[in-house]
Amino acid sequence: MSSLLISGGRVIDVNQQLDQVADVLVRDGRVVQIGRDLGHADQVIDAKGCIVSAGFIDTHVGVRDPGYEEDETTATATAAALAGGFTTIAALPDTLPVVDNAAAAEYVVLQAKRAGNCRVHPLGAVTRGHAGVELSDLGQLARSGALAFTDSQVPIASAEVMRRALEYARMFQRPIFVHPQDPTLTAAGVMHEGYFSTLLGLRGMPAAAEEIMVSRDIALAELTGGRIHLMSISTCGSVEQVRRAKQQGIAVTCDVTPHHLALSDADMQSYDSRFKVRPPLRSSEHIASLIDGLADGTIDAISADHQPCASEKKDRELDQVPFGIVGLETMLPLCIKTLIEPGRLTWLQLLSKLTTGPAGILQLPQAGSLASGVPADITVIDPDIEWTIDPSRFRSKSRNTPFGNWTVRGQVRTVLIGGEVRYRSERS
């Protein structure tokens, strides 16, 4: 039986409420013990000055394979995930063809095995072809490995379809992931509706467009007893509605992205298409509410919402380019910059949004933990190293990020999957 010792790091395990300098012993691909003086091992990783955490998990990642390989492939997406500290990702079904049947879900699993990087779980489409009309065979998708159902960034406009989806998914104990946005209020919009959209003469997307759909979907979750997960919420009203729903015992969870914490609608003054995301970047009062929601537990997870776009797709007029930012490789330093350095969250709180929070949403009981006996999916972080983000060095196939040349602190140093080192930074 092979053994590995991660020595002398600050071990933070949210699952055990553990935060102490210790060693982590791994044997035969599983965590055996956390403590000091744990004996000899076949391999030793010196983690002094580093944070040792369970591997990060992302609840929704645009992998784009099959159909949009000019943007990303399974191999490049999973390589980017490892570089960002992610050991598990859930792949969005917005591919060509859409993942709305068993064969498509099995393709996602097979491609991930071929890539040999991080763990990948498929998300199945709620409706056939993301058309919002006819439900997919959710049972077939669940049996093929889909952990949840979503129409990705396409809002499900019909309340009746959403109700039936929640009822159907409940039979398989799976949540419905939704992008809460009323399409009639956001058509042709490119940014948040407010002062800067008026100043710049750009079509805006009001906060109400998100909040209306959040309200509807919470009400339908209460009606059906189904589980709803709100992807990438961005407004004050959304945070408050989720807070109230949780207090009432409604089965609702949500996540937020780092770029909605690090950027605001004021950044759109550059007319730079790299700032064009959906939901749009909001104003400062919305950002403050998102941070409050993370601190008080209203927001369950942080997702990179990785949306790769080939350069030729982003190099067009602002109203023509697709929405999206690549985020897997910049997730950690942006969280440190916006949450740790200002003292808004502790490391234990932040890591809960990257490990146990998403593991709970995806119902992965052995993920996001360093408990004895679980697979050794581990991320080692150097929290103090300063570096400059260089998109040309991304593992991702796409470069659509507004964070190029930002000086940041904190970097993933080593990533283990099942006790095997799958990633080492160049500085390791």
Helix (H) or strand (E) run with residue 204 in it: strand 204-205
Measured in whole angstroms, how far is the alpha carbon of residue 375 from the centre of its chain?
21
Catalytic (active site) residue 305? yes
DSSP code at position 135: B
Tokens coding 241: 């509605």
Whole-number Å distance between alpha carbons of 163 and 170: 11
Q: Name the active-site residue from 255, 265, 300, 305.
A: 305
The amino acid present at 340, given as its one-letter code, is I
Residue 274, amino acid: R
Number of C-beta neighbours around residue 195 at 10 A:
12
Residue written as tokens 């072809």? 129
Q: Which residues touch 228 (CB under 8 Å, ≥6 apart)?
A: 166, 175, 176, 178, 217, 218, 220, 221, 251, 252, 253
Residue with tokens 């909605």: 260
Q: How far apart are CA 309 and CA 363, in angstroms?
A: 30
Give the Cα separation of 330 and 388 in Å (integer): 11
User: What token pair was written down for 342?
Assistant: 């200002």
And the tokens for 7?
Answer: 């020595």
- Nearest Cα residue to 152 out of 220, 232, 80: 232
User: Which residue(s) pair with 31 in the sheet?
Assistant: 26
Cα(331)–Cα(344) distance, integer angstroms: 16
CB burial readout 205-230, b (16+ within 10 A) else e: bbbebbbbbbbbbbbbbbebebbbbb
29 near 418, Cβ under 8 Å? Answer: yes
In order of 86, 273, 317, 362, 390, the CA distances from 325 in angstroms are 17, 10, 17, 23, 14
Judged on CB neighbours under 10 Å (0-12, 13-18, 19+), 42 is exposed
From CA 299, how far away is CA 38, in angstroms rounded?
Answer: 37
Take residue 68 and report the two structure tokens written for it: 């949009």
Q: Which residues are catalytic?
A: 305
